[in-house]
Amino acid sequence: MDQLLVALDVDNRDRALQLADQLRDVAGGFKIGSRLFTSEGPALVSALVERGDHVFLDLKYHDIPTVVAQAVLAAARLGAWMLTVHAAGGRSMLEAAADAARRTDHTPLIVGVTVLTSLDSTDLAAVGVRRELPAQVEALAELATTAGLDGIVASPREVTRLRKKLGSEPLIVAPGIRDGAGAESSASGGDDQARTLSAGEALAAGASYLVVGRPIISAQDPPEAARAIVRGLEKTASKS
């Protein structure tokens, strides 16, 4: 299913490529985050791209506009399909990222991270954010989309509210999806996600893409775990 993006949150190239080979027929793409990118670097992105995979490069760029623009150009040269920047980097940074993407032959989708799914209102207050969490997500989402980004990243719990505010066009990427093994991990205290929903709930709320990691890659049978999520999503889609 194109909307399912599997997070390859593992330590090494061999395991990442093994999972990609197992899941390619089920997933719409693969997310490479800071952990795997730090371990294996750009070569792994290129390896997946060469296999025809959509690579969601989730490095959350947050720096001065020129540096972020150059990072976007570098990601585009690797063939990244979609990448993240921090919406809190400000309008100039976001506009520089969007402009850089438009200047490439391979134009990656750029989505702005609003508020990390591990944070709650207490965490925001501790870093000086006085808005309530939903209002902060909305403000950053509006900033990102008006600055020219293709969409935003937000917890599934904010998707319904964001769709009402932003309309149907911007992409909304929802991490923090917890089905099956992931839900059990969260309940037992082994998970740092604070604002989660099931895949079906997130899709019904209006998410464009769902990022699922642990419930799939930690399962005894990752392909079957992914297929089970897809079956649930298909049921949700048929009811809408």
| Amino acid identity for residue 165 in this structure | K
Start-to-end Cα distance in the chain: 17
- Cα distances from 112 to residues 116, 183, 186, in angstroms, run 11, 26, 25
| Amino acid identity for residue 209 in this structure | Y
Q: CA-CA distance, 186 to 213, in Å (whole number)?
A: 13
Cβ–Cβ < 8 Å for 196, 186: yes
Cβ–Cβ < 8 Å for 54, 81: yes
Q: CA-CA distance, 36 to 57, in Å (whole number)?
A: 10
Whether residue 165 lies in the annotated active site: no
Q: CA-CA distance, 126 to 119, in Å (whole number)?
A: 11
List 60, 165, 235, 239, catalytic entry: 60
- Cα distances from 90 to residues 28, 46, 97, 101, in angstroms, run 30, 30, 11, 17
Instruction: For residue 129, give the nearest of 112, 116, 142 by alpha carbon.
Output: 116
Beta bridge partners of 12: none
The catalytic residues are: 60
